[in-house]
Structure 1
């Protein structure tokens, strides 16, 4: 049941395309991110399935792990696509956030080089949200047809 809630909160739509040989695609419409584990599981399954990923809205925080797990040639973006990056953080028992620098380094290293370069050219991962969109995003990932 928790997985169903996760998928609903991510707002990932699966669309069947084609006729005789129906090929599925994953469409990310809006995802604020969340805990890393469910995103890793979802995007590992997507990678193994061979499905294409269409980023068609905000894909923030943990959602951006799709870039690390799904081959770049299977990712495209629409004009509405926005990728949001920030440093890794955890929450303590009192609900306070604290930085996870080692996790931030690992996540940054896992992103494709053009994404990593874009992040580093803007000061690297920190508590502020870096938004990759528009021409900068289209220079890294192709527009969806």
Structure 2
């Protein structure tokens, strides 16, 4: 039996499914504030659970790659990772770049992910999408 958990993380829905086999399934996450994702994935890391990326994992959701050991991450054919430069919002609701934070996030990703991002233009305001064969070359397909 599967248990589906919907966790709202500051207006960003991260849908997780946790079956009895100690696995967390990312079904859909548009990202959001970094802090809650760091806390969530740190808890997952500590539990020893495997992470199955089974849909879009965008923006702050991709921090899972930096926190959970790579040998505990697998991807399905539906998996999509989306990366962009770090940004903040000012009091008027305008976005502005955070280059130092972008550098720190990029440095925290595993080497093959960093290399893929670099080959595709680096972290910018444009969303870079990693999926399909390119993603399966970095992370194993889930069984």
Band the TM-score falls in, shorter-chain normalisation? over 0.9
Match in the other structure for 1:12: 16
Q: CA deviation at 1:5?
A: 2.9
Q: Which portions of structure 1, spanning 4 or more consecutive aligned residues, are displaced by more than 4 angstroms?
A: none
**TM norm structure 1:** 0.91
Tell me the secondary structure at the aligned position of residue 77 of structure 2. Answer: coil
State whether residues 7 and 14 of structure 2, in contact with CA within 8 Å, keep that contact through their aligned partners in structure 1.
no
Report the structure, 1 or 2, having the larger helix content. Answer: 1
Match in the other structure for 1:21: none
After TM superposition, list the pairs within 5 Å mapping 1:16-55 onto structure 2.
Answer: 16-17=20-21, 24-55=22-53
Match in the other structure for 2:137: 139
CA distance in 2, matches of 1:25, 1:109: 27
Tell me the secondary structure at the aligned position of residue 53 of structure 1. Answer: strand
Report the structure, 1 or 2, having the larger strand content. Answer: 2
Aligned residues: 137
Match in the other structure for 1:70: 68
Which ranges in structure 1 are unaligned for 5 or more consecutive residues? 18-23
After TM superposition, list the pairs within 5 Å mapping 1:115-130 onto structure 2.
Answer: 115-130=113-128
**TM norm structure 2:** 0.93
User: Could you say what the CA RMSD is over the residues aligned between the two structures, in angstroms?
Assistant: 1.5
Question: Structure 1, residues 13-54: CA drift from partner, whole Å, max 9, x if none?
Answer: 11112xxxxxx1110000000000000000000101000000
CA distance in 1, matches of 2:9, 2:132: 28
